[in-house]
């Protein structure tokens, strides 16, 4: 696991993968944990991003790379999420949600003010795309 995390830090530094803006209200830690070209799908890659929220943590509203299809699985705690104009839902450890290319992630937050939460977001994305997340002004 240490080898994977060490590689993730190097990949994040080399790939230019963007993290969400970080300020007092946005207490998410973003770590790229894998980045692999898909050998039988030329031009596409699979990227895994670990998102860790402290108690009460959240991310600003954002979009993802235009080509990105994402499936996110909650690993710890509970995450509040809203995609596009859908309802705000709470996903608990073991549950997942998806985002299609062009979707807007309006709410992404830890559902608890006292416990941490983590999710793994797996992107299928054009290999050339380096900016995975862009805050919505």
Number of Cβ atoms within 10 Å of the Cβ of 65: 21
Asked if 76 and 120 count as a contact pair (C-beta separation under 8 A), the reply is no
Is the pLDDT assigned to residue 72 strictly greater than 80? yes
Kindly report the pTM of this predicted structure. 0.79
Please provide the DSSP assignment of 25-40 as one string: TB-EEEEEEEEEE-TT
Token duo for residue 45 = 């890659």
Pair type for strands 104-110 and 28-37: unpaired
- 117 by Cβ neighbours in 10 Å (0-12 / 13-18 / 19+) ranks as buried
Secondary structure of residue 60 in the 3-state scheme: coil
The average pLDDT across 57-76 equals 96
pLDDT digits (tens, 9 = 90+) for 8-57: 333 343 344 434 333 444 479 999 999 999 999 999 999 999 999 999 99
Domains of the chain, each with CATH number or no CATH: 2-135 (2.60.120.10)
């Amino acid at each position: 696991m240490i080898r994977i995390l060490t590689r993730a830090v190097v990949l994040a530094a080399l790939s230019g993968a963007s993290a969400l803006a970080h300020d007092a209200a946005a207490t998410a830690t973003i770590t790229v944990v894998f980045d692999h070209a898909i050998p039988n799908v030329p031009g596409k890659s699979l990227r895994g991003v670990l998102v860790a929220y402290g108690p009460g943590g959240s991310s600003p509203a954002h979009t993802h790379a235009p080509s990105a299809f994402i499936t996110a699985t909650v690993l710890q705690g509970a995450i509040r999420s809203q995609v596009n104009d859908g309802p705000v839902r709470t996903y608990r450890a073991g549950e997942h949600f998806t985002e299609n290319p062009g979707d807007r992630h309006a709410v992404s937050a830890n559902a608890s003010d006292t416990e941490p939460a983590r999710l793994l977001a797996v992107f299928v994305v054009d290999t050339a795309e380096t900016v995975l997340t862009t805050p919505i002004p």
